[in-house]
C-alpha cells in the first residue's frame, strides 16, 4: 500500500486530505501537525475574540480523520527528512516511512530584528494559542500597538479593539496596505480606521522596544516615541522551510521550497503546497492558491497524472476589514502598463473606487474598491475574462452599487469563468449542477460544487447565476421564507392582511407546516407588527432577544436604553431626567449620531424601573431595538440658522412622531435639512427631506453603515403635505414588497424599473393603490402605543424582565469596570 505522509495540519493540508478522500485514494495517509488541535480556519481567526470558541473555526474533527482512515498526529514536530531511507523523524524520535511526502508546513510570523523584541508583552498574530496569550495579557493592559499596516496588521488591530484596548497601527510605508491599494485609497482607509478610534502612524521605522523585561513603549528612528503596554507584530510571513536545507531540498532565495508546476521539489517524491512553497519565486499568502496546489498534488497521487498543473494564481482579493470593504483585482496599479485610470472618491460616504482601463478603452486591467465592494465579483470577472467594456467605462463604478453587475449580467460570463476561487468552481460547474443535477437553491449549489463554502465572497454572483439559469430553463423562482412556509414574504403579507390573521400560531396552522424555525418566526413577527402595529410582546415567543426585552443586548449581557428624542429636540427638564436616571442606575451615557442619548449597562431586572422613571418624565420608547423607525435627524433650520430656508426641526419632529413605532423589514432612519448644506445628512437616510426656495425635496433609498448609499430624488419642490403623502406611500410600498431584513437601499436597487418605477407608483399613482397605501399607514398610526408603557403597566409582561425565575437578583456573571468616570463592561 502506498504511504503518503503530510507534514503540517493547516487549511491546505486539510484540503489535500479532503481531495484525496474525494478521489477514493487507497493509500495510507498520515498527517503530522505541530499544533495541539486539528486544522482550523486561520482566515477568520479574529472571530475567536467574539466568544473564544475554537470549535467554530474547526475545519474537521478528529473523528473525520479517523472515519476516513487518516492517521492524525498532533503536538508533534517533524525535525528531519531522510530522503535515502524515505522516512521522517519527529522531535519525539518517532519515525514514519513514506512513498510520497507532502510538505504543508505553512509559514511563521516574520519578527523584525528590533532591539527589545523579546520583552514580555510582545506577541505575534498567527495561531489560536497566540490569541489566547494575547487575550490573557490584554486584561492587564490598556493600550496596544500593531507593527504592520497590511491585511494581517489591520486584522490584528481589530483584535486589539475587541479587547477594549487603545489601539495604534505602526507602518513603515507611507500608506496602509501598500501592496493592495494606492495612495488615495490608503488615505481613505486611514481615515476610516481613525474614525473607529485607531491611531495610524505611517513612515515609522521602529528602532527599539523599551522597558525593563516588560515592554512599556516603542521608539522610532525619527526620535519619536509611543507609550504602549502591548505589541502585536504583523509584519509579514516567512515560509517554514527549515526542513529543506538539511535534507538537500532546494530553497528559494526569499524562502520556500522551490517547486515546479506539479508542486514537486527537486526530489520527485516530495511535494510542497501552500505558504511554504515557492513557485516561480513567488510565495502565495492566500488560501485559495493553496487549495489549487492541493488539487494538483491529489491528482498525481491518486490518478498518477500530470494533466493538472499549477500555473500561478490571480491575487485579486475582497475583504471586510473592521467593517470596511476593501478589494483589489487584476493589476491595481498598472505601474508598468499603459492605461487610463478612472477613479471616483466620496470622502463623506467613505467610498473610493478606481479602475484601470487599457489605452484602447476595450478591456479592464484591474482596480481598487474601498468602502463599497459589491461590484467586485463582476468587475473581477470582466478583468480576468477580458470582457468588452461599456461605451462609458466610468459607469462601472459611478452608478449605484450593483448597477454595473446588473447591466452587464452574469449571462455575459463565459462558462470557463472562475466564480469561486477558494474551490476553483467555474460558472459552467454551477450551471451543470442546476441543469443536470436539478439543483434549485444555494445550499444545493454548495453541496454539489462547494462554491461559497470557503470565504463566501462569491455567493452573490453564484446566486445571480442560479436565478439566471433557472429563468432560462423556464422555472419559476420563488423566494420562500423557509421550509415551514411555502410562500414569499410578500405573499405572506397578503395572506395575513386579507385573512386578518393576528398570531403566528394561527398563520402556521392555516398556511404553514411543522413547528416553525428561527428564520420564519422573527420574519412573521415583523409582518404581524408591520400590518397591525399591535403590541410586539403579545408574540414574544417568536421574537429575537432585542424585541423580546425591548432593548438591545450588549457586550457582557447588559442592555441599552434609548428614549425617543424626536428631531433631536429636548427640553432641559428632560435632559435632567435622563441624567438622573443614568446616575441612579450607573449607566454609561453617550450621545449618538442620530441625535439621541444612549444609556448602556442596564441589567434585565432594572429595565422596567428605568423606563418607569423615563415615561414619568414624558419619554417614549426609541425603538433602538426594533426593525422600525429609529430617528429623524434635523438641523436647526430657519429657527436659528442664517442659511435655513424652512423650519427643519419642527418638520422632523412632525415626521418622527407620525412614523414612530412603525415596524418594517429593516430599520428606518430619516433626516430633514433646512437647506442644501445638508447638516442633517438627509441624503444618507432611508428617506430624507431638504428645504428649497419653493418647498421641499424628498429623497429615498439611502443609508449609512458598512455600504453607504446616497438617497435618490423622488419628488422636488413639493409642499409639506405632499412630502408626508409620498413618504406614507413609499414606506407602505417598501414594507409590502421588500425581502426580510432588506433595507430600502438594496430594495430600491433590485426593484424592477428602479427609481423611475417607484416615482410612477408613489408620485403618479400608476397602480391606483396610492389611497390604499395612505389608508394602511393611517391604521398603523392610529394603533400606535408606547411599547415600554404597555410593558411596565402589565404585571404579566413585567414579570418577564428578570434574570432568574425564582429570584430578583441581578446576573452575578456580569462584571463592570470604571473608565473616564463611567461604567464599562469587562471584556468577556
764-813 pLDDT, tens digit per residue, is 999 999 999 999 999 999 999 999 999 999 988 888 888 777 777 887 87
Question: Could you tell me where the DSSP H helices lie in 98-201?
Answer: 128-138, 151-162, 183-195
Beta carbons of 732 and 777 less than 8 angstroms apart: yes
Residue 312 has pLDDT above 90, yes or no: no
Tell me, what's the pLDDT at 671?
97
Structural domain spans, the chain: 3-108+238-303, 122-235, 414-470
Q: Do 414-470 and 122-235 have the same topology in CATH?
A: no
**What number is the average pLDDT over the span 290-319?**
87
- Dist. CA 300–CA 322, nearest whole Å: 41
> Do residues 332 and 367 touch, judged by C-beta distance below 8 A?
yes
pLDDT at 402: 39
Beta bridge partners of 321: 324
Report DSSP state, residue 826. P
Quick one: cell of 79? 525535525
Q: Which CATH architecture has domain 3-108+238-303?
A: 3-Layer(bba) Sandwich (3.50)
Q: What pLDDT sits at residue 52? A: 72
Helical H runs in 623-672? Answer: 637-640, 648-659
Domain 122-235: which CATH number of 3.20.20.370, 3.20.20.70, 3.50.50.60, 3.40.630.40: 3.50.50.60
Supply the mean pLDDT for the chain. 89
Among the listed ranges 111-115, 479-483, 496-500, 722-726, which one has the minimum average pLDDT value? 479-483
Confidence of residue 288 (pLDDT cuts 50, 70, 90): confident
Q: What is the CA radius of gyration of the chain?
A: 29
Q: Is 755 helix (H, G, I), strand (E, B) or coil?
A: helix
pLDDT recorded at residue 620: 95
Q: What is the residue whose three cell numbers read 470593504?
A: 325
Kindly state the DSSP code that residue 56 receives in the 8-state scheme.
G
How many whole angstroms from its chain centre is CA 523? 21
Torsion of CA 278, 282, 287, 290, to 10 degrees: -40
Between CA 497 and CA 773 the distance in angstroms is 13
pLDDT of 421 > 90? The answer is: no
> CA 766, 771, 774, 775 torsion: positive or negative?
negative
∠ CA 813-817-822 to the nearest 5 degrees?
125
826 and 816 Cβ atoms separated by less than 8 Å: yes
Distance CA 769, CA 661 (A): 23
Other CB atoms within 10 A of residue 475 CB: 12
Per-residue cell: 538: 403579545
Using DSSP's 3-state secondary structure scheme, residue 704 falls into coil
Q: How far apart are CA 358 and CA 383, in angstroms?
A: 11
Q: What are 48-102's pLDDT values in tens digits?
A: 776 677 788 899 999 999 999 999 999 999 999 999 999 999 999 999 999 999 9
Backbone angles phi, psi at 243, to 5 degrees: -70, -20
The three-state secondary structure class of 598 is strand
Q: Residue 407: what pLDDT?
A: 46
Helix (H, G, I), strand (E, B) or coil at 168: strand
pLDDT in tens, 573-628: 999 999 999 999 999 999 988 999 999 999 999 999 999 999 999 999 999 988 99
Q: What are the contacts of 354-360 at 24+ separation with CB within 8 A?
A: 354/182, 354/184, 354/185, 354/397, 355/379, 355/393, 355/396, 355/397, 356/330, 356/331, 356/332, 357/389, 357/393
Residue 295's pLDDT band (cuts 50, 70, 90): very high
Please state the pTM of the whole predicted model.
0.57
CA 115 to chain centre: 38
Annotated binding site for siroheme: 679
pLDDT in tens, 362-420: 899 999 999 888 788 889 888 988 888 888 888 888 754 334 333 466 877 888 888 88
Helices vs. strands in the chain: H and E counts, helices first: 28, 37
Instruction: Give the three cell numbers for residue 178.
Output: 501598500
Of 81, 96, 108, give the one whose Cα is nearest residue 265: 81
- Residue 38 above 70 pLDDT? yes
With contact defined as beta carbons under 8 Å apart, do 161 and 198 qualify?
A: yes
Q: What class, spelled out in words, does domain 414-470 have in CATH?
A: mainly alpha
> What residues are designated binding site?
635, 641, 675, 679
CB 458 within 8 A of CB 405: no
Which regions of 421-506 does DSSP assign to beta strands (E)?
425-426
- CA 202, chain centre distance (Å): 26
- Residue carrying the nine cell digits 396610492: 770
- Sequence ranges of the binding site for [4Fe-4S] cluster: 635, 641, 675, 679
Average pLDDT over residues 433-440: 88
Nearest to 686 by CA among 767, 754, 611, 746: 746
Q: How far apart are CA 562 and CA 621, in angstroms?
A: 7
Give the pLDDT confidence score for residue 399 in this predicted structure: 54
Nearest to 112 by CA among 25, 218, 186, 26: 218
pLDDT digits (tens, 9 = 90+) for 756-769: 999 999 999 999 99
CA angle 362, 365, 366 (to 5 degrees): 135
More confident residue, 722 or 544: 722
Asked whether 615 and 788 are in contact (CB, 8 A), the reply is yes
Yes or no: say if 377 and 458 are a contact pair by the CB < 8 Å rule: yes
Portion of the chain with pLDDT greater than 90, in percent: 58
pLDDT at 377: 83
**Segment 175-194 mean pLDDT:** 90
Q: What percent of the chain has pLDDT over 70?
A: 96
Residue 553 CB partners (closer than 8 Å, separation 6+): 545, 546, 559
Q: What is the pLDDT of residue 210?
A: 96
Q: What is the pLDDT of residues 238-286, one digit of tens each?
A: 999 999 888 999 999 989 999 999 999 999 999 999 999 999 999 998 8
* Beta-sheet pairing, 425-426 with 418-420: antiparallel
Amino acid at each position: 500500500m502506498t504511504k503518503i505522509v503530510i507534514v503540517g495540519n493547516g487549511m491546505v493540508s486539510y484540503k489535500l486530505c479532503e481531495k484525496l478522500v474525494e478521489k477514493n485514494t487507497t493509500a495510507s495517509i498520515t498527517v503530522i501537525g505541530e499544533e495541539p488541535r486539528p486544522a482550523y480556519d486561520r482566515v477568520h481567526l479574529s472571530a475567536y475574540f467574539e466568544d473564544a470558541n475554537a470549535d467554530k473555526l474547526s475545519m474537521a474533527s478528529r473523528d473525520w480523520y479517523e472515519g476516513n482512515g487518516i492517521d492524525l498526529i498532533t503536538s508533534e514536530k517533524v525535525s528531519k527528512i531522510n530522503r535515502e531511507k524515505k522516512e521522517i523523524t519527529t522531535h519525539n524520535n518517532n519515525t514514519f516511512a513514506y512513498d510520497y511526502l507532502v510538505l504543508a508546513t505553512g509559514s511563521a510570523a516574520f519578527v523584525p530584528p528590533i532591539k527589545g523584541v523579546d520583552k514580555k508583552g510582545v506577541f505575534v498574530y498567527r495561531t489560536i494559542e497566540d490569541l489566547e496569550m494575547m487575550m490573557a495579557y490584554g486584561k492587564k493592559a490598556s493600550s496596544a500597538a500593531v507593527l504592520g499596516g497590511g491585511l494581517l496588521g489591520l486584522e490584528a488591530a481589530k483584535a486589539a479593539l475587541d479587547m477594549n484596548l487603545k489601539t495604534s497601527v505602526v507602518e513603515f510605508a507611507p500608506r496602509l496596505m501598500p501592496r493592495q491599494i494606492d495612495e488615495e485609497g490608503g488615505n481613505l482607509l486611514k481615515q476610516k480606521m481613525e474614525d473607529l478610534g485607531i491611531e495610524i502612524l505611517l513612515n515609522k521605522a521602529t528602532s527599539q522596544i523599551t522597558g525593563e523585561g516588560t515592554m512599556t513603549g516603542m521608539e522610532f528612528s525619527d526620535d519619536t516615541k509611543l507609550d504602549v503596554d502591548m505589541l502585536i507584530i504583523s509584519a509579514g510571513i516567512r515560509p517554514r522551510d527549515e526542513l529543506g536545507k538539511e535534507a538537500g531540498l532546494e530553497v528559494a532565495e526569499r524562502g520556500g521550497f522551490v517547486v515546479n508546476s506539479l508542486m514537486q521539489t527537486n526530489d520527485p517524491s516530495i511535494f510542497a503546497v501552500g505558504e511554504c512553497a515557492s513557485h516561480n519565486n513567488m510565495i502565495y499568502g492566500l488560501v485559495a492558491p493553496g487549495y489549487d496546489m492541493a488539487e494538483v498534488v491529489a491528482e498525481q497521487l491518486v490518478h498518477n497524472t500530470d494533466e493538472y498543473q499549477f500555473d500561478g494564481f490571480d491575487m485579486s482579493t475582497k475583504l471586510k476589514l473592521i467593517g470596511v470593504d476593501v478589494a483589489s483585482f487584476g493589476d491595481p496599479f498598472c505601474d508598468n502598463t499603459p492605461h487610463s485610470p478612472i477613479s471616483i472618491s466620496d470622502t463623506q460616504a467613505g467610498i473610493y473606487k478606481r479602475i484601470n482601463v487599457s489605452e484602447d478603452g476595450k478591456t479592464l486591467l484591474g482596480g481598487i474598491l474601498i468602502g463599497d465592494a459589491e461590484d467586485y465579483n463582476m468587475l473581477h470577472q470582466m478583468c480576468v475574462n477580458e470582457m468588452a467594456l461599456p461605451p462609458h467605462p466610468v459607469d462601472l463604478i459611478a452608478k449605484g452599487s450593483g448597477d454595473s453587475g446588473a447591466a452587464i449580467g452574469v449571462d455575459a460570463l463565459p462558462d470557463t469563468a472562475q466564480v469561486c476561487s477558494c474551490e476553483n468552481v467555474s460558472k459552467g460547474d454551477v450551471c451543470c449542477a442546476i441543469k443536470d443535477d436539478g439543483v434549485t437553491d444555494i445550499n444545493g449549489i454548495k453541496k454539489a460544487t462547494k462554491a461559497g463554502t470557503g470565504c463566501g465572497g462569491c455567493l452573490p454572483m453564484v446566486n445571480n447565476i442560479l436565478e439566471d439559469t433557472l429563468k432560462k430553463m423556464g422555472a419559476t423562482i420563488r423566494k420562500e421564507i423557509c421550509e415551514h412556509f411555502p410562500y414569499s414574504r410578500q405573499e405572506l403579507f397578503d395572506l395575513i392582511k386579507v385573512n386578518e390573521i393576528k398570531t403566528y400560531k394561527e398563520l402556521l396552522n392555516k398556511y404553514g407546516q411543522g413547528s416553525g424555525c428561527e428564520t420564519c418566526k422573527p420574519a412573521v413577527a415583523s409582518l404581524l407588527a408591520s400590518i397591525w402595529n399591535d403590541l410586539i410582546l403579545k408574540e414574544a415567543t417568536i421574537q429575537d432577544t432585542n424585541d423580546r426585552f425591548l432593548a438591545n443586548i450588549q457586550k457582557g449581557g447588559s442592555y441599552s436604553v434609548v428614549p425617543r428624542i424626536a428631531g433631536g429636540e429636548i427640553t432641559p427638564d428632560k435632559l435632567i431626567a435622563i441624567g438622573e436616571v443614568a446616575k441612579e442606575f450607573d449607566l454609561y451615557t453617550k450621545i449618538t449620531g442620530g441625535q439621541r442619548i444612549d444609556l448602556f449597562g442596564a441589567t434585565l431586572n432594572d429595565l422596567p424601573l428605568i423606563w418607569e422613571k423615563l415615561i414619568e418624565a414624558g419619554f417614549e420608547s426609541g425603538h433602538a431595538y426594533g426593525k422600525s423607525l429609529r430617528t429623524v435627524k434635523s438641523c436647526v433650520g430657519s429657527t436659528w440658522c442664517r442659511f435655513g430656508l424652512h423650519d427643519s426641526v419642527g418638520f422632523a419632529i412632525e415626521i418622527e412622531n407620525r412614523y414612530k413605532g412603525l415596524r418594517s423589514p429593516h430599520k428606518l432612519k430619516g433626516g430633514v435639512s433646512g437647506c442644501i448644506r445638508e447638516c442633517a445628512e438627509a441624503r444618507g437616510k432611508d428617506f430624507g427631506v431638504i428645504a428649497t426656495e419653493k418647498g421641499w425635496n424628498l429623497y429615498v433609498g439611502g443609508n449609512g453603515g458598512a455600504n453607504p448609499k446616497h438617497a435618490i430624488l423622488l419628488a422636488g419642490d413639493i409642499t409639506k403635505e405632499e412630502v408626508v403623502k409620498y413618504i406614507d406611500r413609499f414606506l407602505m410600498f417598501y414594507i409590502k414588497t421588500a425581502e426580510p431584513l432588506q433595507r430600502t437601499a438594496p430594495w430600491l436597487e433590485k426593484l424592477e424599473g428602479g427609481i423611475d418605477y417607484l416615482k410612477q407608483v408613489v408620485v403618479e399613482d400608476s397602480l391606483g393603490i396610492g389611497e390604499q397605501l395612505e389608508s394602511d399607514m393611517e391604521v398603523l398610526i392610529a394603533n400606535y402605543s408606547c411599547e415600554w408603557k404597555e410593558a411596565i403597566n402589565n404585571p404579566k409582561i413585567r414579570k418577564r424582565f428578570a434574570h432568574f425565575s425564582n429570584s430578583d437578583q441581578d446576573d452575578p456573571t456580569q462584571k463592570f469596570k470604571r473608565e473616564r468616570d463611567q461604567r464599562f463592561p469587562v471584556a468577556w
